[in-house]
Structure 1
């Protein structure tokens, strides 16, 4: 059954309804086949761009949807409920636009954002490297200034849309200093940029993930986003927002698994009655529902803090950790509800369980999230009490 939602405006309520219908009628019928065939659905992103989803949380004056994160995370959840690969791709695209939106010059925004946010171009976010995942300050990809250009050399691992993106937000080192890292926007057609064959993954097989290689990639200095040496700040700020995206996707994935489990439990009969009426299984479903609702509540809380301009890094890490751990548990329990059938590819819960695992790894492993949370507790924070004007959106 669809999640119950309280949206901030009539416009956002209509948007959720549009996305929910699109997910059910256009995405759901294609998802299993595309995942089985490891087919990247580029056309789906064009459709999402046309309805405004790809640029939803960014300003309208640059081609975005102008919606608060409270709305954006719920849209992501509706997409993930039926097709996680597409939801992850949507979140990564937003991540790849983050630097330009928040740190670019007005001239850069006017030149590039309309096509990026309007869905004409698909982005990729290049931060991790083969030996620098959880520690972004350890990256070795270099950007060397050469007159009016920079020359980039290195390799970026685990790049969603690698080889299919139209542009890449690349985080690269600009000196030997550990934190002297900068951010660049690199067009896909730039000479020297290439992608390895896609990784062979356990799940999210409809999402292309590849190592992107930069072999003396020369770009104008005008494609640096923010100040030289300011790239690590951009990357870490982007990850706070990206974690909200993954929390929402994990919640949507868990909701999809719960929906399948409840429907099956109502239709499957043992000992003369539907299995949903057996207390042992009914309580399992109740725990699954509680886990989904908990994840949703935490994700919305963190998103609302962000919308109010309040600190939300700790809450984003909590949301990401709780939602993804819960998604792993809910999808595993959904397989259990189906019994032997749940272990076959004839039913979607098997795929959902495989997809849930990577949610605990994306945008910082859940061990990293625990580190972020514990460090915030050690620093100590002052409780914030604020009021919200619900009419402003």
Structure 2
């Protein structure tokens, strides 16, 4: 016989409490901590067990237990944070709510694009320190903005299933290669030597620099091993892409099929490229959806190259840049790190659907 847990406190809502909780949970601009607590209480009131609520809302069981008991003991007031030890509060809940509502719902003065601690302090008659503490407590960051872009490819779902299927269930007797170009890599030289790291002082470099030309890196990442086939070209046309396809052909076992994951750049689809692919039937090209470069794992390799080599290096010529990058890639291939794809297609589509729902809700 399984062990029985502690008896759950009975949780029954009045009509007024239910209406208030549903408003907190549904209102797009409610502080997310309070919205989550409201959803926990509503789920508990529907008769769900703590474990079921935990799985449904993706929170820990102790979190469910905490807010269930707090509500039973103190009702709606129990969902606010408990006072901390120290000096008595000088800012009331009404003042905090005013700051939050202004931050989320009102435009700042003077046609500014966003609130600052100074402008908010002037608007509500509080100190900048108080505004900063309130924003930190509710994880509000008016000074930050994140960019996003959703693919409008009519074949989005099919292409995602195709590419993710190659990652999670690669075909036998074949290599899966993520192929792309890192174009316009600049050979940049600083106008003064880079100063090394010292105790209490980070490395330092001048803001101004000299451009010494550009190059493009063509790369094919082997998903299984993490090794990279690479080639530099000064131009970025279909002729260069054809040369790189031939390089891939010469540097992979001839008895294996090659599944190439590429983006929709025009040079990948020219008549000359299509004719070459027809003459080499072991090449199978899979295109990612438009505006979905995140599906191509070679972008993750390019991020490593940028962060670990390009961002803090200096080169007096394109040839020096190319030699430096080749040496870095050779070291990478001596101890390659494969990037492991974990999300299924259904998880990706669910995540995008949830994000679209948030966008729609925020418009009301």
Per the normalisation by structure 2, the TM-score is 0.21
* Structure whose CA Rg is larger: 2
More helix by percentage: 1
Per the normalisation by structure 1, the TM-score is 0.20
